[in-house]
Structure 1
């Protein structure tokens, strides 16, 4: 598979079911943004079982269908030992490695040597910044981080919550960091705040939508593997942290169980159908027909309702053949 170099190319790989996973490397983050969707804090849990981490990383590295592994948290750069292990082994196995960071590690124009050694092994770096990040660490670290990453000729994707003058301020910081031709070296992707974690105090879903009107889910095609062995069907932050239906999570104790969980989620007909045609189409099935007119604040609410109903067995469990047919419509 061609190496990803742009945000869209990375999304295309993520949308190719089973081609990528996200490695959630730590819960810890030193920045403390008010809008954090996973409630990461300086004292949040971090890696304690490095034997488990090594086992699950080696399993991911050995899975031939995986073309790309994203690494996030929390802030993955607080885990020097874990991040170094993961990046080196995944890159050595030919995986494209994408890291998501706030750039907090760039306190000075020169990065620590261990980071300079890791960056050339990556496919792209996602830098997050907005008013909340600036409040937590100032704009200088973002500027330093952008310069360091660009110095290694690694593609940069900047994610910025679009509120107030954050986008304008980020463009100014990119110009300071990379010059007026910064769009040749970095992409700026506007995002929105999520009502998860601490973000629940700042954001709310803006409207309710009938179940039949939801299209395909764009995050269910790549599973998430947490540093402690938890595997989730998608990157919904609440699911990763233990909320929502238990059927969307599996807890593994070694790499073999992690691999089985990843493949189990990738092969699940219900999840495949959510990504292929979306839950709105599934409301046409008998067991979900009453959800067509019910309104939900987000696609996740509809998914959770369907998942809980399906997990209960009975009539819902008898329609896997229909789900498989729907899931295969875009194959």
Structure 2
């Protein structure tokens, strides 16, 4: 499964689910969005297995995307979930910081981890200057070469300090030199989340005189956290703050079919995907800090009961109209037509978006 196939689905509501299997990680990256460590929380395997077991041929996500923390600290769980998902037609991926290549040259992958990598349909490696301080690039390169030679579908999630970080230019050139077009890359920049919040300033955008609708694709896939809580957003703050309007349920009490229905049918979720939070806030005459803040606006909607009530009231009637359903379908089709490239431009460093298509047929 190529990276482009995953990104093609990424903007489609309930087409996939992201699942954080653990918040533990042996690395100490200064930009870690989840502030993971080896003493962070980790919940029983049964929580994750039960939820994936609720997938069926009639109701299933197309993609199960696993991460952490460091998901490959639980290789047996990764393998079990990938196999369980595949039985009903769901493909799977796992994202790793390659911690296992820290202390050797990368030519030998530990057997349990190799079994887990073989079990998924796509393997992604996190790569940035912070990871490389602990897992050297030559070791990463050898791991990728081993997997590539064995026919594994791979990608690199590459992160720079900002869009102009020379590290990105240097590492992209090295990847292309060693692997040609065989490993696609999704390129992003450090955001003010987790540990990076202490040293990365929050980008403040002046609110325009007229706030236009801006569909939010981050509310497309449900996200299951390390403790089983499920939210409707891929923003790391959503899991930390758990704003009420984004909460979908819990893996211990809800099935995939129930989470899917809430994702697709909730008037609030539909409105956020169609109009975006800034537009909804403007309609409800609410806007925090006077800024067009996107995600921050969305997080603030549940910070005040009166504000959330006003937002819900402003969409209650409009989201029930047949004309709104028609508009949703048209907007969704336009987003789907943009595919992987549009997603990479919108949610990554735009100038490098086409790297996500390397090797795609």
In the superposition, the TM-score normalised over structure 2's length comes to 0.78
In structure 2, the partner of 1:21 is: 17
In 2, Cα distance between the equivalents of 1:257 and 1:209?
Answer: 41
Unaligned runs of 5+ in 1: none
Matches within 5 A, 1:145-224: 145-163=143-161, 164-171=165-172, 173-174=174-175, 180=177, 182-210=179-207, 212-213=211-212, 215-224=214-223
- Displacement, 1:78? 0.5
Q: 2:32 aligns with which of 14, 28, 36?
A: 36
How many angstroms apart in 2 are the aligned matches of 1:189 and 1:195? Answer: 19
- Deviation at residue 73 of structure 1 after TM alignment: 1.0
Contact residue 281 and residue 311 of structure 2 kept, 8 A? no
Counterpart-to-counterpart distance in 2, 1:100 and 1:304: 26
Alpha-carbon separation, structure 1, partners of 2:178 and 2:133: 27
Aligned to 2:227: 228
Deviations 1:28-51 (A, max 9, x none): 11111000011011221123x232
CA deviation after TM superposition for structure 1 residue 213, in Å: 4.8
Aligned to 2:339: none
CA change 1:257–1:202 in 2 (3 A) is same
The reply to whether residue 103 of structure 1 matches residue 98 of structure 2 is: yes
Question: Aligned-residue CA RMSD in angstroms?
Answer: 2.8
Q: Is the 8 A contact 2:79 2:115 kept in 1?
A: no
Deviation (angstroms), 1:327: 6.1
Whether the 8 Å contact between 2:301 and 2:308 is mirrored in structure 1 is no
Distance across 2 between alignment mates of 1:63 and 1:195: 39
Q: What residue number does 1:265 align with?
A: 263
Alpha-carbon separation, structure 2, partners of 1:323 and 1:311: 18
In structure 2, C-alpha distance between the alignment counterparts of 1:224 and 1:239, rounded to whole Å: 9
Alignment-derived partner of residue 127 in structure 1: 125
Q: Conserved in 1, the CA contact under 8 Å of 2:55 and 2:88?
A: no
State how far apart, in whole Å, the 2-side matches of 1:80 and 1:314 are: 46
Give the secondary-structure state (helix, strand or coil) at the position aligned to 1:13: helix
State how 1:288-327 maps to structure 2 within 5 Å: 288-291=284-287, 294-296=290-292, 298-308=293-303, 312-313=308-309, 316-317=312-313, 319-325=315-321, 326=324
Tell me the CA shift for residue 93 of structure 1: 2.5
- Which of 56, 59, 65 is 2:54 aligned to? 59
TM-score by length of 1: 0.84
1:248 maps to: 246
SS at match of 1:109: coil
Q: Which moved more, 1:320-329 or 1:83-92?
A: 320-329
Q: Given the superposition, is the C-alpha separation of residues 289 and 155 from structure 1 closer, same or farther in structure 2, using an over 3 Å criterion?
A: same
Residue-by-residue CA offset, 1:178-237 (whole Å, 9 max, x unaligned): xx3624211223211111110101212223242725622221100111243210111211
Structure 1 residues 129 and 313: CA distance shift in structure 2, 3 A: same
From the superposition, tell whether residues 238 and 292 of structure 1 become closer, same or farther in structure 2 (CA, over 3 Å).
closer
Contact 1:91 1:122 in 2 (8 A): no
* 8 A contact 2:245–2:268 mirrored in 1: no
Number of residue equivalences: 318
Closer, same or farther in 2 for the Cα pair 1:85/1:128, shift >3 Å? same
In the TM superposition, what is the alpha-carbon distance from 1:293 to its structure 2 partner?
9.8
